Amino acid sequence: MGLAFKNIGLIGKYADDQMGDFLNRLITHIRRHEVQVFLDKGTSEFTPIPDIEILDRAAMGKRCDLVIVIGGDGTLLNAARSLVEYDVRLIGINMGRLGFLTDISTDQMEHRIDEVMTGGYVTEERALLSAKIYRDGAEISSNIALNDVVIHKWEEARMLEFDTAINGRFVNSQRADGLIISTPTGSTAYALSGGGPILHPALSVITLVPICPHTLSQRPLVIDMENDVEITISDSGHARARVTCDGQISLGVQPKDRIVITRYENKIKLIHPADYHYFELLRAKLHWG
C-alpha cells in the first residue's frame, strides 16, 4: 500500500522534560516507513535530537505534507497559527489534559500514525479569526486565533466598558470583565467556561460570550462568521484592557481603540484517525454519560 505522506514534520511541546523520549520513539517508528522526517527549530532548541534535519516553521510549511504535533492543545494552536498559510495537514498527539485538538493518546501513537500514513484518516478544515487593533484610524497591531480572541481587563479589579458593533451597526454597550469572540473550535475552551454554547466545528459561526457581565441580560450571541465584529473600548472606563489571541498572544489596547475581528482568509487542515467522531470526543472529554 502506498503512503499518504512522504515528508513529515514534528513539533513538540515547549520545555517539556519528557519530550525527548517521545520524539525519539516517534522518529524511530516513522522512519520505518522510509519517509523524510524533520524537526521544528523551536523544539530542537530545548530538546535536541541527533541525526535529523531542523526546519523553521516557514520551511516546514513549504516542505512537509504532514506535521505531527506532540503536546497539548496549546502546542497545536501555536502550530496552526504558524502553518495556516501552507498546504500542510496537522495531527495531534496528546500529552496535555483535555486534548480536544490533540486527540491521539501517547500509548496509541504508533498504531494511529501507521493508520494515517497508509490513508486511514479523515480531514476537516477549521476557520481562524483575524484581530486587528486601530488607534486614531491607523492599524497598530494584528494577529490570528484558532480558538478565540478575548478582550479582557488587565491588572485591575474593575470592569471594562466597551461598545460592540456588527457590520458597522451598533449592538450594545457593556460593562463586564471582558468579551470572548470564539470560533467553533474554541467553543469548548474559554467560551465554554464563560457559559457559551458548544458549536459543531463544521458550523461557520462565531460566538460573542461576555465575561462576568454587570447586566445579566447580556447573553452569548451566535452570528455568522462572515460578519465583522468591532469592539470599541470606552474612554469613560477606568480598567485597562488587553486583547489575547488563543491565550498565547497579548496585544495592548487603550481607551477609544477599535478591535476589529473578522474571519481569517485561510483555514487550517486537521486530520484525525478514520474512526474519529466529534460527539464521541465530547462524550469522553466532558465525561458525559
**Nearest CA-CA partner of 282 in 101, 129, 75:** 101
Residues 6+ apart with CB under 8 A from 187: 196, 197, 198, 199, 207
Catalytic residue among 16, 40, 73, 103: 73
Task: Mark whether 275 is an active-site residue.
Answer: no
**Nearest CA-CA partner of 103 in 140, 71, 62, 57:** 71
Buried b / exposed e along 81-98 (16+ C-beta atoms within 10 A):
bbbbebebbbbbbbbbeb
**CA gyration radius, the chain:** 20
SS3 214: coil
Burial of 45 from C-beta contacts in 10 A (0-12 / 13-18 / 19+) = exposed
Residues carrying an active site annotation: 73
